[in-house]
Amino acid sequence: MAGGSAAASALSNPWRTLLQRALDANAHLKHSTFFQLATVGGGGRPANRTVVFRGFQEHCDKIQINTDARSNKIGEIKEWPLGEICWYFTDSWEQFRISGIIDVIDGSNSDLTKLQQLEKAWFASSVKSRSQYLGPCPGVPVANDDHIKDVHLDPSAGPADAYCLLTLDPEKVDYVNLKSNQRLMFTRRQEGEESSDWMAEKVSP
């Protein structure tokens, strides 16, 4: 998702400008909205998976990701809320490694603002994407695919119980452009949760 409000708010800091340009330059490639999210798994082991970029939260740099509340990673993230994104754009040869704190937002949240964010992200997803949260629990063995065919979703219904929104609040961005052989390190000054004051440093690739 790389239009409108995202483009308007990309001017908030330098790495957002670079990321928006990369999204625009690679928009013709469906996989340009896919990136890898690494977290701390069970027993302290690394856990990595490919997820889909669902845009930025309004008025901030938090990156949104849809996921299933029943998956193992939810408990792991709640225990260790540290994560890093690795995002590579194949046409422009640009890589973004974005690390920060992950927040888990589900239907049990008592914060009204977060529940509104959850509902907004739910309805921003396609009906097909929403339908997957009505299926069986992830990782459970299934005999066939009949359970998928039987799923019916009311398009006007609110978020399913299994639907969960993850937001990653960036603290550090490592940017590499392989075409220009340029590498920039962006670090956020820790002056509060909503701080958007970033320092940039050019480093050796």
The answer as to whether 130 is a domain residue is no
Between 8-22, 49-63, 110-124, 172-186, the lowest mean confidence (pLDDT) is in 8-22
Structure tokens at 193: 């949760």
Q: Is the pLDDT confidence value at 59 over 80?
A: yes
Q: Is the pLDDT confidence value at 5 over 90?
A: no
Q: pLDDT (tens digit, 9 = 90+) per residue, 137-146? A: 888 887 776 5
pTM score, whole prediction: 0.87
The answer as to whether 131 is a domain residue is no
Structure tokens at 177: 């452009």
Q: What is the 3-state secondary structure (H, E, C) of 63-107?
A: EEEEEECCCHHHHHHHHCCEEEEEEEECCCCEEEEEEEEEEEECC
Can you tell me the mean pLDDT for 102-107?
96
Q: Is the pLDDT confidence value at 11 over 60?
A: no
The pLDDT score that the predictor gives to residue 154 is: 87
Domain extent at residue 190: 4-109+162-203
Residue 178's φ and ψ, nearest 5 degrees, are: -75, -20
Can you tell me the mean pLDDT for 116-140?
92
The answer as to whether 139 is a domain residue is no
Q: Is the pLDDT confidence value at 7 over 60?
A: no
Q: What is the CATH number of the domain that holds 19?
A: 2.30.110.10
The answer as to whether 126 is a domain residue is no
Q: Is the pLDDT confidence value at 196 over 80?
A: no
How far is the C-alpha of 81 from the C-alpha of 166, rounded, in Å?
Answer: 10
Can you tell me the mean pLDDT for 167-193?
91
Domain total of the chain: 1
Q: What is the 3-state secondary structure (H, E, C) of the chain?
A: CCCHHHHHHHHHCHHHHHHHHHHHHCCCCHHHHEEEEEEECHHHCEEEEEEECCCECCCCCCEEEEEECCCHHHHHHHHCCEEEEEEEECCCCEEEEEEEEEEEECCCCCCHHHHHHHHHHHHHCCHHHHHHHHCCCCCCCCCCCHHHHCCCCCCCCCCCCCEEEEEEEEEEEEEEECCCCEEEEEEECCCCCCCCCEEEEEECC
Residues of the chain with pLDDT > 70, as a percent, come to 87
The answer as to whether 36 is a domain residue is yes
The answer as to whether 125 is a domain residue is no
The answer as to whether 132 is a domain residue is no
The answer as to whether 10 is a domain residue is yes
Bigger pLDDT: 146 vs 116 = 116
DSSP lists the bridge partners of residue 186 as 173, 200
Q: pLDDT-derived band of residue 31, with 50, 70 and 90 as boundaries?
A: very high
